[in-house]
Amino acid sequence: MNILPNLLRWRSAYIKDKHFMLMLALVIGVLTALAGLLLKWLIHQIEYLLTHQFSITGANWLYLVYPVIGILLTGLFVRFIVRDDIGHGITKILYAIARKQSRIKGHNTWSSVMASGITIGFGGSVGAEAPIVLTGSAIGSNLGQLFRLDSKQVMLLVGCGAAGAVSGIFKAPIAGLVFTLEVLMFDFTLGSLLPLLVSCVTAAAVTFAVSGTGNLFEFHLVNAFAIERVPAYVLLGIFCGFISLYFTRVMNWLEDQFRRLGSPWKRFLIASPILSILIFLFPSLYGEGYDMIRVLLNGKGPDDWNQVMNGSFFYVAPHLLLLYLAGIIVFKVFATTATNSGGGCGGTFAPSLFLGCVAGFVFASLWNWLPGNRILVPENNFSLLGMAGVMSGVMHAPLTGIFLIAELTGGYGLFLPLMIVATAAYLTIIIFEPHSIYTMRLARKGELVTHNKDHAILTLMSMDSVIERYEEQLHPEDDLGTIVRHISSSERDIFPVVDDAGRLLSVLVLDRVRHVMFRTELYHQLHVRDLMSPCAARLTTNDSMDLVMANFDRTKAWTLPVVDAEGLFVGFIRRSHVMALYRTMVHDLSEE
């Protein structure tokens, strides 16, 4: 019973916090790598068991069945075993950082692995990376909670889990570090980088030890960077930016439509047939689609590239390859959204890589067909560059796109083109969409931590931490004698005036009472309603701290009341309290 408290005391006495964080970072790196390997193994085993006997010369009708079964099994698992929403993994991490002091539920250490393994193995057109990032972050968060670390340390361990997950599942330690800094959007201090690096290196090393040191996608560079192709690189980036915008906007709209259906069974009955029909027509949409990426990256001509149409109606029409790929660009977002909205579990990492590879190949093919064009471009290289472009656009993370694709494929010889395409794609999409697919909903609610230090600190503050709860309450009919009794037994200078139900009506400020409080002859003549003042503004318990500070600035008030959704009085917030907490958090987050 006393083992954990004794262990915590021993740790506090003999192990410094910095050293302990490095030890935990190493443990997190090992656990996240193993979780990623387990998930990949589970997906491969299910997919192989179901599809290894499929014909490549024509359509396979079981494509109509497997995705429906997969979504159904996942939905039942989540509904009756997990009993919690486990979708939108990276958005959940961002929300936990902003609103829950980086605390993630314990079941997320395993539930996303099981759910996404079933979903993707049965054909769900999503990726395994976002679920494993949530798993890694949950491992970090729960280890921090187990050892009763403060919120700053737990936040760092959440980052270690995310970095280790990306590093392990992609064999990309640099991308894991950059992803955490760029996508999770929090400015860790220089002293925080070492635990992140430990997690990244450890996760990558474990994955290399188990699955070999080869790249996730083998890529053999044939034509290196050429200056005359720079216009093509720029145009490819712009093209990828618009593809990213299409994917983001359509996914957001489709999710809203499915959400309006309400019942999960209605969503399942509509979404699962959409997914199965799309996979039946375009088998490349089955699962993560990494086999198709390998074909486009390493194919040497039409005979190789036409393999992407195996198992489809298009098999007998190789001349329709570009039409097939164009259909995939259009319908991939429908397949991904139908998978998640219907009850499946998966992320948008793999879909963005998949879509980018197809977009790059299609762009290169069309470019080479331009009449009078003398500057031909290699389809393989542009397939790789497209992956960086669409990932940069969808995730609003150009650095992650650049380093991830370079590490995934070993395509370092195209580093400058990767930078050009990723930057052009990012600059294109931010003109139309200021937030990524992960952050747009949080941004609308004011719950998004950003690289803006002031905004980040305010987002991390909770309303509960700044509300001053009141037991003293006055009513309009209370006389001056009652007011004086309240004042004499309290150190407060402002009191709420409420009705019988507890709804806030106004406030009574001590300055309004000071000149009459010693005139006993007025104790039964003056009442609260004669002395109370209107509220300069009313805050609610659901307001963001940005809105709170905006109200303080607008009203020039030093104290504002807070009510709940029904107008019932909750307490007061003082500007001085908010500023004191702000200074404390700046100090805590800035110290090494």
Contact 167, 134 (CB under 8 A): no
- What is residue 223's predicted lDDT score, i.e. its pLDDT? 78
What is the model's pLDDT at position 159? 92
pLDDT of residue 452: 52
Residues pairing with 507 in the sheet: 496, 533
Radius of gyration of the chain, Cα coordinates, nearest whole angstrom: 29
Is residue 444 over pLDDT 80? no
pLDDT band at 456, cuts 50/70/90? low
Place of tokens 């760029």: 182
The string of pLDDT tens digits covering residues 150-187 is: 888 898 999 999 999 999 999 999 999 999 988 875 55
Residues 120-150 pLDDT 10s:
999 999 999 889 999 999 999 999 999 989 8
At 447, is the pLDDT very low, low, confident or very high (cuts 50, 70, 90)? low
Q: Which two tokens stand for residue 159?
A: 């980052």
pLDDT at 140: 95
Binning pLDDT at 50, 70 and 90, where does residue 585 land? low
Q: What is the pTM of this model?
A: 0.80
Residue 388, pLDDT above cutoff 90: yes
- Percent of the chain clearing pLDDT 90 (strictly above): 54
What is the predicted pLDDT for the residue at 592?
Answer: 47
pLDDT (0 to 100) of residue 1:
52
CB 86 within 8 A of CB 112: yes
The predicted-structure confidence for 278-329, as pLDDT tens digits, reads as follows 999 999 999 999 999 999 999 888 889 999 999 888 888 888 999 999 999 9
Helices (H), 101-229: 111-121, 129-146, 151-170, 173-182, 190-211
Instruction: Evaluate whether 497 touches 532 at the Cβ level (below 8 Å).
Output: yes
Chain-wide mean pLDDT for the chain?
88
* 195, 164 Cβ separation under 8 angstroms: no
Averaged pLDDT, 104-122: 94
- The H or E element that residue 561 is part of is strand 559-563
pLDDT at 458 over 70: no
Inform me whether the pLDDT recorded for 445 exceeds 80: no
Residue 205 has pLDDT above 50, yes or no: yes
Q: What is the pLDDT of residue 278?
A: 96
Output 227 or 451, whichever has higher pLDDT.
Answer: 227
- Give the pLDDT of residue 5: 80
Give residue 183's pLDDT. 83
Q: 14-211 maps to which CATH number?
A: 1.10.3080.10
Work out the average pLDDT over 380-408: 93
Among 376-390, 434-448, 539-553, where is mean pLDDT lowest?
A: 434-448
* pLDDT mean over 67-76: 95
How far apart (Å, rounded) are the C-alpha atoms in residues 198 and 573? 41
Q: What CATH topology corresponds to 227-450?
A: Clc chloride channel (1.10.3080)
Structure-token pair, residue 550: 């905006």
Instruction: Tell me whether the CATH fold assigned to 14-211 matches the one assigned to 455-590.
Output: no
Q: What is the pLDDT of residue 123?
A: 94
User: Whats the size of the chain, residue-wise?
Assistant: 592
Confidence of residue 419 (pLDDT cuts 50, 70, 90): very high
Calpha distance 385→217 (Å, rounded): 13
Q: What are phi and psi of 424, to 5 degrees?
A: -65, -40
pLDDT of residue 400: 93
Percent of the chain scoring above 70 in pLDDT: 94
Strand (E) or helix (H) holding 496: strand 494-498
The domain locations on the chain are 14-211, 227-450, 455-590
455-590: CATH topology is: CBS-domain (3.10.580)
Beta-sheet pairing, 494-498 with 559-563 = unpaired
